[in-house]
Chains A and B, each alone.
Chain A
Amino acid sequence: MNPFKERKEHLFTLKTMQRKGKQVKKVKKQEQISESLLVNCPKCTNSYSKATLSKLYYVCPNCGYHYKISAFRRIKLIADPESFVEMNRFLTGNNPLSFPGYREKLNVLQDETGLVESVITGTATIKKIKAVIAVLDSRFLMGSMGVAVGEKITRAVEYAAEEKLPLIIFSASGGARMQEGIFSLMQMAKTSAAIQRHGKKGLLYISVLTNPTTGGVTASFASLGDIILAEPGALIGFAGPRVIEQTIKQKLPEGFQSAEYLLEHGFIDKIVERKECRDILALILQLHEKRNEITC
């Protein structure tokens, strides 16, 4: 690795740690209050305390609404405890179009979310089977894909191909990131090409679509899984519902572009409730282990 880049990353780490130091205190305070505070379910409007929800995988016990959860929480729910090792954590993009206010916006989001970019990648074991995992986080610019996100995903996929590991990607994204323009668009080609190469080696890729998965992410790696799973009620599509309504000048039917709708139309294999996700992923991984590795 080039020493300048290393130094830059080191400085960046210090910077984010400093910022995060401030942030941690703030978050803790907020959490103390919010633990007892009630959260309304956006679907059935019942209210629950955060403590209750966290025990219920952040799923409404009344109507089954799956709350949006952070990438780290997602990993905690599916990976073996302490098994996750993050890769390329401090990789960030530039501002290739010199888009006004973009850098500042990223800084604010980094402070608010504790994330460096809208995807987390790494390796983990699920019931002792090792896999490469990437999780998009919709709190960070709608989980949109710019150069850094495309690069992190591509590096993760290439690593999986090199190490002959299965790959799991949880998508939650509004699509390509507008502020990085054409560079974001090209990440669709880059990630798809990497997935294709991983697949050609006979390796497994499980794509899990969570709420929402749209635009350039749907039209690239998210749709290329050997097996595609989705969370109940997730919005999944290429064009957003508002754009479609404007184009066809009529209201869209109830449940259009929901996970259930996609299942019915043959675009996903299975809808998986959050609490079952770890078991299902483990089962799929077991079903795809290489034959000579199975001991009778």
Chain B
Amino acid sequence: MLKELESKLKAIDQELEHMADNSHSPAQVLMRRQLERNRKELLEAIAKSLTPADRVYLARHPKRPGVRDYISYLFTDFLELKGDRGCKEDESILGGPAFYKGIPVTVIGQCKGRNLEENLKYNFGMPGPEGYRKVIRLARQAEKFDRPIITFIDTPGAYPGLEAEERGQGEAIAGCLSVLSDIRVPVIAIVIGEGGSGGALALGVANTIIMLENSIFSVLSPEGFASILWKDSSRSDEACELMKLTAGDLLDFGIIDYVIKEPPGGAHRDPGQVFQDVAILLEQEIRKLTAVGKEELTDARYKKYREMGKL
């Protein structure tokens, strides 16, 4: 359904582009207006009819704004720091200090590529143990210099590869969970695209968890879920329904704290609006959390996870 509407939209966009060169006659101006109206209606129809599977599609959209886009809009003087100090540099994790409205913060995020070349560089947004150990290193550094940590989550999951296993993927993720759980600075996590499995949660132990409307956060990818439960990864659409992985579901469950609305058709249709909304929320949360005592901060974080799915 969504893909159908999207292709119609694309056709209109192409037509509009084509008209842009020679659209001076009154008839053409009228036609142009009509097309623009159709376009708006289509976008609204898309926004209204989104199924969980559609949201998964939007969360993975190649044009969806990634961590680099957020960093360049939200922060100034971002200084990228590299390496885990143990084995190698993992490009799928991007991080370092920056200013947020004059306040020094540490930013850590997962990178995905927009084309094949970038995707190879960022390993399709799937970090290895070195990436997670870089997270631990940067988080400890943030704690030392008393900088709030802001994480951007966007990964299908941790990389399931031979070398990743050899170098302790599980241990590295577990390390992130335990370090972030009691770090003595505020942690704010924002799910901007895919939040897949333990590989996403490793950046998701936070005082405040924010999700974009069409981002997802789940125990496993819908394909993996279908493959484990029904031995059939093609039933992923069914899995999307069952898994309750949308921002709205997770807000209802009390797992996350805020949902940021996206423009009709997804964040990539008007990134500026999304960045602005993120900026407002981020400022509110940074102000709120930096006013809290350190002990209270870690206790609140502990309590937050302690009460998820309370029995």
Listed in ascending order, the chain A residues whose CB lies under 8 Å from chain B are 91-94, 96-97, 99-100, 147-148, 150-151, 154, 176, 178-190, 192-197, 200, 215-216, 218-224, 237-239, 243-244, 247-248, 252, 256-257, 265-267
Contacts of B158 in A (CB 8 A): 219, 238-239
Judging by beta carbons under 8 Å apart, are B250 and A182 in contact? yes
Q: State whether the Cβ of B205 lies closer than 8 Å to any Cβ in chain A.
A: yes
Contacts of B218 in A (CB 8 A): 181-182, 185
Interface of A is mostly: helix
Q: State whether the Cβ of B229 lies closer than 8 Å to any Cβ in chain A.
A: yes
Whole-angstrom CA separation of A190 from B177 in the bound complex: 9
Q: Which of A220, A223, A267 has the most CB of B within 10 A?
A: A223
Judging by beta carbons under 8 Å apart, are A196 and B170 in contact? no
Contacts of A196 in B (CB 8 A): 178-179, 181-182
Whole-angstrom CA separation of A100 from B242 in the bound complex: 9
Judging by beta carbons under 8 Å apart, are B197 and A192 in contact? no
Q: State whether the Cβ of B220 lies closer than 8 Å to any Cβ in chain A.
A: yes
Our pick among A148, A220, A247, A252 for the contact of B177 (Cβ within 8 Å) is A220
12 contacts between A and B (CB under 8 A): A97-B244, A182-B218, A183-B253, A185-B198, A185-B218, A193-B177, A200-B182, A216-B197, A218-B170, A218-B174, A219-B158, A265-B168
Q: What is the chain A residue whose CB lies nearest that of B181? A: A193
Contacts of A185 in B (CB 8 A): 197-198, 201, 218-219
* Nearest CB of B to A270, in Å: 16
Q: What is the chain B residue whose CB lies nearest that of A142? A: B228
Whole-angstrom CA separation of A224 from B172 in the bound complex: 10
* CB within 8 Å of A: which B160-186 residues: 160-162, 164-171, 173-175, 177-179, 181-182
* CB within 8 Å of A: which B215-231 residues: 217-220, 224-225, 228-229
Judging by beta carbons under 8 Å apart, are B244 and A219 in contact? no
Listed in ascending order, the chain B residues whose CB lies under 8 Å from chain A are 158-162, 164-171, 173-175, 177-179, 181-182, 197-198, 201-202, 204-205, 217-220, 224-225, 228-229, 242-245, 250, 253, 255, 301-302, 305-306, 308-309, 311
Further contacts, 7 of them, CB under 8 A, given A218-B174, A220-B198: A176-B220, A182-B217, A196-B181, A219-B177, A224-B178, A238-B158, A238-B169
Judging by beta carbons under 8 Å apart, are B171 and A223 in contact? yes
Our pick among A148, A184, A189, A239 for the contact of B311 (Cβ within 8 Å) is A148
Judging by beta carbons under 8 Å apart, are A223 and B306 in contact? no
Our pick among A182, A193, A200, A224 for the contact of B244 (Cβ within 8 Å) is A182
Judging by beta carbons under 8 Å apart, are A189 and B255 in contact? no
Known: A182-B218, A237-B165. A190 touches B306 (CB 8 A): yes
Judging by beta carbons under 8 Å apart, are A178 and B228 in contact? yes
Judging by beta carbons under 8 Å apart, are B306 and A147 in contact? no
Q: What is the chain B residue whose CB lies nearest that of A261? A: B166
Judging by beta carbons under 8 Å apart, are B168 and A189 in contact? no
Whole-angstrom CA separation of A94 from B253 in the bound complex: 13
Q: What is the chain B residue whose CB lies nearest that of A216? A: B198
Judging by beta carbons under 8 Å apart, are A186 and B308 in contact? yes
Known: A219-B198, A238-B173, A256-B162. A186 touches B255 (CB 8 A): yes
Judging by beta carbons under 8 Å apart, are B201 and A239 in contact? no
Judging by beta carbons under 8 Å apart, are A219 and B242 in contact? no
Contacts of A248 in B (CB 8 A): 161-162
Q: What is the chain B residue whose CB lies nearest that of A192? A: B177
Q: What is the chain A residue whose CB lies nearest that of B307? A: A190
Judging by beta carbons under 8 Å apart, are B250 and A192 in contact? no
Q: Which of A189, A194, A196, A239 has the most CB of B within 10 A?
A: A189
Whole-angstrom CA separation of A189 from B175 in the bound complex: 10
Contacts of A193 in B (CB 8 A): 177-178, 181-182, 205, 301-302, 305-306
Our pick among B162, B204, B217, B242 for the contact of A189 (Cβ within 8 Å) is B204
Judging by beta carbons under 8 Å apart, are B168 and A267 in contact? yes
Judging by beta carbons under 8 Å apart, are A239 and B160 in contact? yes
Judging by beta carbons under 8 Å apart, are B308 and A183 in contact? yes
Judging by beta carbons under 8 Å apart, are B170 and A182 in contact? no
Q: What is the chain B residue whose CB lies nearest that of A221? A: B174
Contacts of A215 in B (CB 8 A): 198
Q: What is the chain B residue whose CB lies nearest that of A184? A: B219
Judging by beta carbons under 8 Å apart, are A182 and B174 in contact? no
Q: What is the chain A residue whose CB lies nearest that of B196? A: A185
Whole-angstrom CA separation of A202 from B224 in the bound complex: 39
Judging by beta carbons under 8 Å apart, are A186 and B305 in contact? yes
Our pick among A238, A244, A266 for the contact of B170 (Cβ within 8 Å) is A238
Q: What is the chain A residue whose CB lies nearest that of B250? A: A182
Contacts of B202 in A (CB 8 A): 219
Q: What is the chain B residue whose CB lies nearest that of A228? A: B171
Q: Which of B178, B181, B197, B201 has the most CB of A within 10 A?
A: B178
Contacts of A176 in B (CB 8 A): 197-198, 219-220
Contacts of B308 in A (CB 8 A): 183, 186, 190
Contacts of A151 in B (CB 8 A): 309, 311
Identify the 8 closest CB pairs spanning chains A and B, nearest first: A239-B160, A218-B170, A193-B181, A192-B177, A238-B170, A183-B309, A219-B173, A223-B174
Q: Which of A92, A154, A194 has the most CB of B within 10 A?
A: A194
